[in-house]
Amino acid sequence: MKPINITLAILMYLFTISLSSCEKDNDNGDTEIHFEIDDLYGSWKYESGETCSLYYFSAEDSSGIYIENAQSRVYDRYDITYETNDKVTSLTIIKGSGDSTRYTIFSLTGNELILTDTENEATLALERYNGNINDEYPHILKFAIDNIYGNWEDNSNNPNKLYYFSAEDSSGIYIENAQSKNYNRFETTYETNVYVTSLTIFKENGDSMKYAIDLLNRFTLILKDTESGNILALRRHVGNIDKEFPVTINSDTLNGHEWVNLGLSVKWATCNIGATNPEDYGDYFSWGNIEPSETYIKKTCATWNKNISDFSGNPKYDAATANWGDGWRMPTKAEMQELRKECTWEWTTINNTNGYKVTGINGNSIFLPAAGYYNAERISNSNENGYYWTTTPYEYNNQESCKLDFYESFPNLLWYNRYFGLSIRPVSK
């Protein structure tokens, strides 16, 4: 009997090893590979025939240059997507025409960078460029003006020197001494509508000083005096200057309706259509209807079973534009996704109305009430769930469109029947 027992033991051992190996392979398959952002820094080239496309990535401040054709000296920006402060898995290259391509980093070594187009899986293989793009193709580093937005303090640990920059409209506050509450303006010099290379700070006595931007990231802003070359190093201020030293440049009205800047690509209205206060439910709309309905059924929905493309800003279907006028529109799916991902969401109650306080990266916030929805003539889930239309239709049928959906948990974007009556929260540029 012993030989049989030994044979069984060997078979069981091999089976155990096989299972262990399978488990390890599955774990590896679920692991996302991260790359050090510092390894991306520098110059890269892609050669195709006689064309040499060059890329210049600046890892320290996440800014960079994409050169479609080095000989033309057309410098365009790129955006980079971080997993953490020092890890990166993908980047988006945006050309001067506005076209963009999102790439996943397939591999990154000292001399080779291989990117994979996330849509068509085409490969872009770059090799380290030994020349100096700065010398051969002179350019001025351009920084996204949105990244300047917010509160900054002097890096010399002097809390009395604070800076408040408003990126959207180039207005801002320079606070020579925060305690004195003397707010002065600054001006920025643009290369384009989205880039800035320098800014001028005007002090209370009228003196001005022009600075070139040497470095800019989430936490550091280094300015160089263009005359003396002296450095002004700023770090992001963790306090809220709005609350400590109130200013009013982060909100305004358009056509009589108030908006709030959350530091995003669009400004968000403070109320729903039909509401007077942020916590009011307001009116309900079928998707593509510009007026509330008496009953919310398929027959009363103007877009039901019709092939309608994204209509953001089209007053024929956009209830925000039709009711609030030019400049206001309903958000797209991408803009609602930006609100969902880039802001902090806190379930709260205002005047007995439940909903989410949504706080932007600059500390400003809006309130989205859980207004429920209408089906036929009946309202459901009011004060429990919130449903907000976007202008993006479902590509696989003509009965559903994209909406924001939330209850007392993190919000999601889902597809919903167009005839249901949902809330609308307008946006503006």
Question: 100-159 pLDDT, tens per residue?
Answer: 677 888 888 878 889 888 888 888 888 888 776 656 655 445 566 666 777 788 876 565
Place of tokens 């003397």: 182
What's residue 142's pLDDT?
A: 56
Q: What is the CATH topology of the domain spanning 143-244?
A: Lipocalin (2.40.128)
Other residues' Cβ atoms within 10 Å of the Cβ of residue 324: 20
Q: Which of 346, 416, 357 is nearest to 381 (CA)?
A: 416
Under 8 Å between Cβ of 296 and 284: yes
What's residue 115's pLDDT?
A: 86
Q: Are strands 172-175 and 183-184 parallel, antiparallel or unpaired?
A: antiparallel
Rg from Cα positions in the chain:
27
Q: C-alpha angle 140/146/149, rounded to 5°? A: 110
CA distances from 63 to 168, 196, 265 (A): 19, 12, 18
Quick one: the chain helix, strand, coil %, rounded to 5?
15, 40, 40
Q: Which of 137, 136, 155, 144 is nearest to 61 (CA)?
A: 144
Average pLDDT, whole number, for the chain?
A: 75
pLDDT at residue 406 is higher than 80 = yes
For the chain, the structural domain boundaries read: 35-136, 143-244, 251-428
Q: Which amino acid does the sequence have at 95?
A: K
pLDDT at residue 87 is higher than 70 = no
What's residue 237's pLDDT?
A: 79
Q: Is there a shared CATH topology between the 35-136 domain and the 143-244 domain?
A: yes
Provide the 3-class DSSP secondary structure of residue 309.
Answer: coil
Return the CATH number of 35-136, one of 2.40.110.10, 3.40.50.2020, 2.40.128.370, 3.40.190.10. 2.40.128.370
Any residues with CB less than 8 A from the CB of 106 and at least 6 apart, and which? 114, 115, 116, 123
Q: Which two tokens stand for residue 369?
A: 């009430």
Q: Which amino acid does the sequence have at 38?
A: D
Provide the 3-class DSSP secondary structure of residue 268.
Answer: strand
pLDDT at residue 251 is higher than 60 = yes
Q: Which of 70, 58, 47 is nearest to 138 (CA)?
A: 70
d(CA 338, CA 344): 11
Under 8 Å between Cβ of 354 and 368: no
